[in-house]
Amino acid sequence: MSLRLATVLWLGLVCALGDATQAQGAPSPPAIQLRLDGKPAYLIDEAALVTMRRVTVRAALPGGPVRSWQGVALEDIVRRTCVASDDALAGRALARFVRVSGADGSQVVFSAAELDDDFGGTAVILADRVDGQPLTNDGPFRLIVPHDRRGDRSMAQVTTVEVVDASTP
């Protein structure tokens, strides 16, 4: 084997090991995938959520005490995907729904109109804090639906928010 070939192979191995070590290094910050009608997902991380309007709601999870949850309204998050809202939420746009998925494979669905203040006005937040502290076991993000009679749509460990067009041609 020539010295030149050995040097190229050695440099390739060093670069590959360096990339693998870097990939295994510091964990990436928590983020949620945001998808619109099957288009490529983009990530919303804590830094993006901090720039959005924060809300606080009081709600109890099944069997638990009422607590103060802080986060961002789900409606504000889905608006980033160009979901029609306000006057534009009419016609085919009314057939859109928002599917939220958790790390355990669970999913919940809200209609676009259900989240809009001019229609259902259902308060739903993507919480990243409870009682002023970051979420631990339930996090890093938890869906909170404070006015549901049952707490089944309050989902722990949210990973994906997807806006789906369910209209037919």
- Would you say residue 12 lies in a domain? no
Cα–Cα dist 3/70, whole Å: 61
Supply the pTM of this predicted model. 0.77
Total number of domains in the chain = 1
pLDDT, tens only, 35-48: 887 678 888 888 88
pLDDT, tens only, 95-141: 889 999 999 999 999 998 898 888 888 889 999 999 999 998 888 99
- Would you say residue 13 lies in a domain? no
- Would you say residue 117 lies in a domain? yes
What CATH code is carried by the domain that includes residue 118? 3.90.420.10
- Would you say residue 77 lies in a domain? yes
- Would you say residue 148 lies in a domain? yes
pLDDT confidence bin for 82, thresholds 50/70/90: low
Residue 108 sits in which domain range?
A: 28-165
| Residue-averaged pLDDT of the chain | 79
- Would you say residue 9 lies in a domain? no
